[in-house]
A and B are shown apart, each in its own frame.
Chain A
Amino acid sequence: MTAVMGSPRLRKEDPALLTGENKFVDDIQAVGQLWMGMVRSPFAHAKVNGINAEPAKSMPGVYAVYTGAELMDMGLWAAPLPCAWPVTPDMVNPPHYPVATDEVHHVGEIVAVVLADSRYEAADAVEKVEVDYAELPAVGSVEAALTDAATAHSDHATNKAFTWALEPNPDGVNDAFANAAHTVTGEFLQQRLIPAAMEPRGVLAIPSPHGGDITMYTSTQVPHILKVMMAATTGISEAKIRIIAPAVGGGFGAKLNVNPDESLALTLANKLGRPVRWTETRTEAAFSTHQGRGQRQKIEVAADADGKLLGVRVHLDADMGAYMMLITPGVPLLGSFLYTGVYDVPAFGFTCDGWFTNLTPTDAYRGAGRPEASYAIERAMDMLAQKVGITPEEVRRRNYLGGGDAFENLDVASTLTFDSGHYGPNLDMALNMAKIADLRAEQQRRRDAGESKQLGIGLCTYVEICGLAPSRALAGLAYGAGGWEAGTVRMLPTGKVEVVTGSTPHGQGHETSWSMIVADKLGVDPDDVEVLHSDTAISPLGLDTYGSRSLAVGGVAISMACDKVIDKARLIAAHQLEANPDDLEFESGRFGVKGSPDKGLLIQEVAYGAFTAHNLPDGMEPNINEQMVFDPPNFAFPFGTHVAVVEVDENTGETTLLDYIAVDDCGNQVNPLIVEGQVHGGIVQGVAQALFEGAEYDEDGQCKNPSFLDYLVPSAMEVPSIKTDYTYTPSTSNPMGVKGVGEAGTIGSAAAVINGICDALSPYGVSDIEMPASPMRVWKTIQDAKAGA
């Protein structure tokens, strides 16, 4: 058999997705279903003085209308919606119920729910609900929050929610800055991003006709976590709750939450004995689904005369939005460990203040804290290079961990231990692919000729933390759960293999990758492997998909379960072949007796024997059904070099990405085609932040671009054909040597693009530009620089 591992196999799941055979939540219908229509606050901050639902109740098709106060009286909830990550013991966490009662804290917060026979009737009735609001002063940005001139929650004295610090060496940091030959300070805004998965969120909760069980279909990345959280916040036993994530059209972190709509559907279906459903509209999604980023960053870098780093000091003001959702406060912490990047930094300090605003809550979005971190350090390294008078690549080389050579299990200043790295060759490969010398020559030619289209070359050498997570490390961060993952491998009587994973795919291609892992281990055909997932009744044990953890934790669990399968099968085969287990060698799916080439058993034959149980070793349980729960000993730290080649038209401010080179290292690869897809998508998402996207708010907390008319998600037309290659530095954190790759592209690309624009504009004296670098913003920045010069 040709090697399965590392081969670019087409994805198993695609035919059903491409032909529409697969079903998303909104495709699933239930007899007797009621549609929820949400009455949402048009104000960012207001008192709710009263609600008159009577006109809505008499609308056609309306079953009921419930206000927040009525829902509270119905006793649907045992606790508010959860925040699983109280980052400090004194973190402020205002109660967040699915429906507001007396005060609303962001535009789009639900104040009443209509239940109607159809989605259209629900929408018509929503318009008839009369709500008497008294507007309160709103906190429309994190800058406004810092002043405490108004507070986002009127019963709070300050908008500050917490201060979290990672200061392993405060004296060292002070010394570094005192002794520095060069210091640079970068202040950056990580604008809010609207996740915009291709499939909007939706939910359908169906109560059982008897027994009190309830099944909830929901467009989620985290059915297992959701089940526990639903049980904890509703008082319904988790034994009664079954959560199914059917086909899910992308998540990017936005579907890892515990949302008001999900809680409403579950509890109302349970209470009323009717199926209850909802699907968000696009504009609704801009308010009802959490957003990403939302940080003000200040990074200070101290270096010696040669540009060798002495210390890095970072402060963040992080925009929590109106409430703490599942991991809202933890997102900046996930980034905190990466502000020293791929560099050998003797002294490091990080502090973060979390602030409430009257905006939609923030939470995880592809990269979650890590794109922000790599952006800050990679922008700062370019500033340092300029100050020292060396190239961006040279300043990086001078500071690489391990001197750019291969290392394993290296302690870094941010208190973590990097599993493995080998940065030098990775950078070289990217610079060669980009033909860096030719680019610089062309750049100079354009400058000398005074051309209006300037060339810029942007570099980013990132590292990221993935494979979330060692449970003990999570304990240290006060996260309310573990980071293990479960996998089961069952040999079926006919020789096929059934795999159950607790990692929940929503576009990543787990079925393909897990089949390949099993095929490689057991010597079976990947098409003979069936992967079951995303249903808590079928896969009761799991911690789902986020933080680039699926392969590095969940895939490894499958691989290790296969080892158990082989161990048991070996005992059975030895028994049946009347050989010593140690004398069997397992190769290409066959147990053969060493020295007797004809004597052997296929794993499929062993599986059948395990099923019939006619001839098993004494005391052995029939069947081969092995589970592994893997709790990784460490995170995994993928890295890479990205080069963005940009052209900026000084007359219009338009930036065109001419070329993009990405050399990523995610350790050993299972399926390079899937890696490639993740890298491409990730890069475009970072390019989107750099050039196109950003939720813009006015000072009253109103979003100016909640629809796709104004919120610019780039398409294939806006990005060049990305050039990729890879280096392969195996992880020491798991036996497969794999690292995650789902977020890497996003973590590398925004900094590369902005570094490129700043490089292009350096002749004008421009040293920084805010994201997204829209044509207008670039043009105005050039005008200001010219006027200032």
Chain B
Amino acid sequence: MIPSKFDYVAVDSAEAAIAALTEHGDEAKLMAGGHSLIPLMKFRLANPTVVVDIGKVQDLSYINDGGDHIAIGALTRHMAVETSDLLKAEVPLLAHCASQVGDPSVRHRGTIGGSLAHSDAASDLPAALLALNGSVVAKGPSGERVIAADDLFAGFLENSLADDEMITEVRVPKMAGAGWSYQKFNRRAQDWAIVGVAAVLNGSAGVGLVNMSSMPMRASAVEEALAGGASHADAAQKAADGGTPPEDLNGDAEYRTHLAKVLVERALTEAASRKS
């Protein structure tokens, strides 16, 4: 619970953050809300020698209408996402999903960019980004690129960003009128999901799973079954296909597999009921 020694640099712009990353290479870690990074450092599971604090980069905290999508600055806190009227109207899944993260103090500190960059299979927002077919904007020394949700998550707590890149923006397609649901199953309100399911029914179906693999996972088998005309109940039977559910005290693979099926069915049923 006591981190190793590190240097601390606070920056006030994305450019300064990228410059610091370029200078320190993989010794450095960005810190946004710090609510995933600091616990890892306290357990000495992460030992960056330089912490680059981007928490005060004010101009990366926004929620804007981008025409066919909503653009959210990477430093936007979960609480802002949860309470945004624009998101509640246009992408209600994301606003609701943010309201399910941890507890209020976590939501006041944690950021959407940090949550997606952390690429934690147990986190809520990555599943929503997958279900929504969203993307992120990554910025590096040589400019910006857009990374689709499917290409962002690269492994256990690993993303596909280069060492000197950072997420500056998150983009989610508008989905007003679409059906949606987020099913989070946990033992205490403040906990990560044992299994979670984000579903969007918008012509085609998008289904993202929480904690069913070593990284955030799309329930492709469910999506394909639905595209092929399967019923919700039948499609849900494929919830765990392709997954490698983690095993812990809350759930072994058998139980998580079962839960995923129950929750996917519940999510599809609820989403269908919300569709207008």
Binding site for B on A (CB under 8 A): 119-120, 123-124, 281-284, 651-654, 691-692, 696, 704-705, 707, 709-710, 712, 714-715, 717-718, 774-776, 779-780
Q: How far is the CA of A702 from the CA of B43 in the complex (A)?
A: 17
Please, what's the 1-or-0 string for B1-33, where 1 marks a CB less than 8 Å from any CB in chain A? 110110000000000000000000000000000
Among candidates A119, A696, A715, A779, residue contacting B255 with C-beta atoms closer than 8 Å: A779
Task: Choose, from B89-97, B162-170, B186-194, the stretch at the interface.
Answer: B186-194
| B5 surroundings in chain A (CB, below 8 A) | 120, 124
Question: Considering only CB atoms, which chain A residue lies closest to B256 in the complex?
Answer: A776
| B1 surroundings in chain A (CB, below 8 A) | 281-284
Q: How far is the CA of A691 from the CA of B186 in the complex (A)?
A: 13
Knowing A652-B262, A696-B249, say if A780 contacts B187 (CB, 8 Å). Answer: no
User: Is A776 a contact of B188 with CB atoms below 8 Å?
Assistant: no
Among candidates B2, B4, B191, B262, residue contacting A119 with C-beta atoms closer than 8 Å: B2
Q: How far is the CA of A449 from the CA of B259 in the complex (A)?
A: 23
- Pick 10 A–B contacts, CB within 8 A, sort by A: A124-B4, A281-B2, A651-B262, A654-B185, A691-B187, A704-B249, A709-B39, A718-B187, A775-B187, A775-B250
| B177 surroundings in chain A (CB, below 8 A) | none
Among candidates A652, A712, A714, A780, residue contacting B259 with C-beta atoms closer than 8 Å: A652
| B259 surroundings in chain A (CB, below 8 A) | 652
User: Is A715 a contact of B248 with CB atoms below 8 Å?
Assistant: no
Most chain A beta carbons < 10 A, residue from B5, B185, B249: B249
A532 to chain B minimum Cβ distance, whole angstroms, is 35
Q: How far is the CA of A704 from the CA of B194 in the complex (A)?
A: 17
Among candidates A281, A284, A712, A774, residue contacting B191 with C-beta atoms closer than 8 Å: A712
Is B251 in contact with chain A by the CB < 8 A criterion? yes
Q: How far is the CA of A705 from the CA of B190 in the complex (A)?
A: 17
Question: Considering only CB atoms, which chain B residue lies closest to A692 in the complex?
Answer: B187
Question: Considering only CB atoms, which chain A residue lies closest to B248 in the complex?
Answer: A710
B124 to chain A minimum Cβ distance, whole angstroms, is 16
Chain B residues 150-185 with CB under 8 Å of chain A are 185
Is B65 in contact with chain A by the CB < 8 A criterion? no
User: Is B190 a contact of A715 with CB atoms below 8 Å?
Assistant: yes
Q: How far is the CA of A779 from the CA of B188 in the complex (A)?
A: 17
Is B258 in contact with chain A by the CB < 8 A criterion? yes
User: Is B249 a contact of A779 with CB atoms below 8 Å?
Assistant: no
User: Is A717 a contact of B188 with CB atoms below 8 Å?
Assistant: yes
Binding site for A on B (CB under 8 A): 1-2, 4-5, 39, 43, 103, 185, 187-191, 194, 248-252, 255, 258-259, 262
User: Is B185 a contact of A712 with CB atoms below 8 Å?
Assistant: no
| A709 surroundings in chain B (CB, below 8 A) | 39
User: Is B251 a contact of A718 with CB atoms below 8 Å?
Assistant: no
Question: Considering only CB atoms, which chain B residue lies closest to A654 in the complex?
Answer: B185
Knowing A692-B188, A712-B191, A717-B190, say if A776 contacts B262 (CB, 8 Å). Answer: no
Q: How far is the CA of A516 from the CA of B132 in the complex (A)?
A: 61
| B250 surroundings in chain A (CB, below 8 A) | 774-776
Among candidates B188, B194, B248, B262, residue contacting A718 with C-beta atoms closer than 8 Å: B188
Q: How far is the CA of A123 from the CA of B43 in the complex (A)?
A: 12
| A283 surroundings in chain B (CB, below 8 A) | 1, 43
| A710 surroundings in chain B (CB, below 8 A) | 248-249
| B255 surroundings in chain A (CB, below 8 A) | 653, 776, 779-780
Q: Which 9 A-B pairs have the closest CB atoms?
A: A281-B1, A717-B189, A123-B2, A776-B255, A651-B262, A776-B251, A718-B188, A712-B188, A712-B187
Among candidates B185, B191, B248, B249, residue contacting A652 with C-beta atoms closer than 8 Å: B185
A287 to chain B minimum Cβ distance, whole angstroms, is 13
| A653 surroundings in chain B (CB, below 8 A) | 255
Knowing A651-B262, A696-B249, say if A718 contacts B2 (CB, 8 Å). Answer: no
Question: Considering only CB atoms, which chain A residue lies closest to B195 in the complex?
Answer: A652
A184 to chain B minimum Cβ distance, whole angstroms, is 31
Q: How far is the CA of A779 from the CA of B1 in the complex (A)?
A: 35
User: Is A776 a contact of B252 with CB atoms below 8 Å?
Assistant: yes
| B43 surroundings in chain A (CB, below 8 A) | 283, 707
A781 to chain B minimum Cβ distance, whole angstroms, is 12
Q: How far is the CA of A679 from the CA of B152 in the complex (A)?
A: 50
| A715 surroundings in chain B (CB, below 8 A) | 103, 188-190
| A692 surroundings in chain B (CB, below 8 A) | 187-188
| A124 surroundings in chain B (CB, below 8 A) | 4-5
Q: How far is the CA of A651 from the CA of B250 in the complex (A)?
A: 16
| A691 surroundings in chain B (CB, below 8 A) | 187
A118 to chain B minimum Cβ distance, whole angstroms, is 10
| A707 surroundings in chain B (CB, below 8 A) | 43
| A704 surroundings in chain B (CB, below 8 A) | 249
Q: How far is the CA of A282 from the CA of B42 in the complex (A)?
A: 11
| B251 surroundings in chain A (CB, below 8 A) | 776
| B262 surroundings in chain A (CB, below 8 A) | 651-652
Q: How far is the CA of A715 from the CA of B187 in the complex (A)?
A: 11
In addition to A653-B255, A775-B187, 6 A-B residue pairs with Cβ atoms within 8 Å of each other are A282-B1, A715-B103, A715-B188, A715-B190, A717-B189, A776-B255
Q: How far is the CA of A717 from the CA of B190 in the complex (A)?
A: 9
| B190 surroundings in chain A (CB, below 8 A) | 715, 717
B121 to chain A minimum Cβ distance, whole angstroms, is 15
| A775 surroundings in chain B (CB, below 8 A) | 185, 187, 194, 250
User: Is A705 a contact of B188 with CB atoms below 8 Å?
Assistant: no
| A651 surroundings in chain B (CB, below 8 A) | 262
B191 to chain A minimum Cβ distance, whole angstroms, is 7
Q: How far is the CA of A705 from the CA of B187 in the complex (A)?
A: 15
| A774 surroundings in chain B (CB, below 8 A) | 187, 249-250
| B188 surroundings in chain A (CB, below 8 A) | 692, 712, 714-715, 717-718
Question: Considering only CB atoms, which chain B residue lies closest to A716 in the complex?
Answer: B189
A288 to chain B minimum Cβ distance, whole angstroms, is 12
| A652 surroundings in chain B (CB, below 8 A) | 185, 259, 262
Q: How far is the CA of A704 from the CA of B258 in the complex (A)?
A: 24
User: Is B249 a contact of A705 with CB atoms below 8 Å?
Assistant: yes
Q: How far is the CA of A691 from the CA of B4 in the complex (A)?
A: 36
| A718 surroundings in chain B (CB, below 8 A) | 187-189
| A717 surroundings in chain B (CB, below 8 A) | 188-190
B243 to chain A minimum Cβ distance, whole angstroms, is 17
Knowing A692-B187, A715-B188, say if A779 contacts B2 (CB, 8 Å). Answer: no
| B4 surroundings in chain A (CB, below 8 A) | 124
Q: How far is the CA of A776 from the CA of B255 in the complex (A)?
A: 6
Question: Considering only CB atoms, which chain B residue lies closest to A60 in the complex?
Answer: B5
| B191 surroundings in chain A (CB, below 8 A) | 712
A550 to chain B minimum Cβ distance, whole angstroms, is 31
| A119 surroundings in chain B (CB, below 8 A) | 2
Q: How far is the CA of A775 from the CA of B249 in the complex (A)?
A: 11
Knowing A696-B249, A704-B249, A710-B248, say if A779 contacts B258 (CB, 8 Å). Answer: yes
A291 to chain B minimum Cβ distance, whole angstroms, is 16
| B252 surroundings in chain A (CB, below 8 A) | 776
Most chain A beta carbons < 10 A, residue from B43, B103, B188, B194: B188
| A779 surroundings in chain B (CB, below 8 A) | 255, 258
B134 to chain A minimum Cβ distance, whole angstroms, is 28
| B187 surroundings in chain A (CB, below 8 A) | 691-692, 712, 718, 774-775
Q: How far is the CA of A124 from the CA of B3 in the complex (A)?
A: 9
Q: How far is the CA of A681 from the CA of B56 in the complex (A)?
A: 40
Q: How far is the CA of A281 from the CA of B1 in the complex (A)?
A: 6
Q: How far is the CA of A774 from the CA of B251 in the complex (A)?
A: 9
Question: Considering only CB atoms, which chain B residue lies closest to A452 in the complex?
Answer: B262
Q: How far is the CA of A715 from the CA of B190 in the complex (A)?
A: 9
| B194 surroundings in chain A (CB, below 8 A) | 775
Q: How far is the CA of A707 from the CA of B42 in the complex (A)?
A: 12
Question: Considering only CB atoms, which chain A residue lies closest to B194 in the complex?
Answer: A775
Q: How far is the CA of A714 from the CA of B188 in the complex (A)?
A: 7
Question: Considering only CB atoms, which chain B residue lies closest to A283 in the complex?
Answer: B1
B131 to chain A minimum Cβ distance, whole angstroms, is 21
Question: Considering only CB atoms, which chain B residue lies closest to A717 in the complex?
Answer: B189
Question: Considering only CB atoms, which chain A residue lies closest to B252 in the complex?
Answer: A776
Question: Considering only CB atoms, which chain A residue lies closest to B44 in the complex?
Answer: A127
Q: How far is the CA of A776 from the CA of B256 in the complex (A)?
A: 9
Question: Considering only CB atoms, which chain A residue lies closest to B254 in the complex?
Answer: A780
Question: Considering only CB atoms, which chain B residue lies closest to A118 in the complex?
Answer: B2
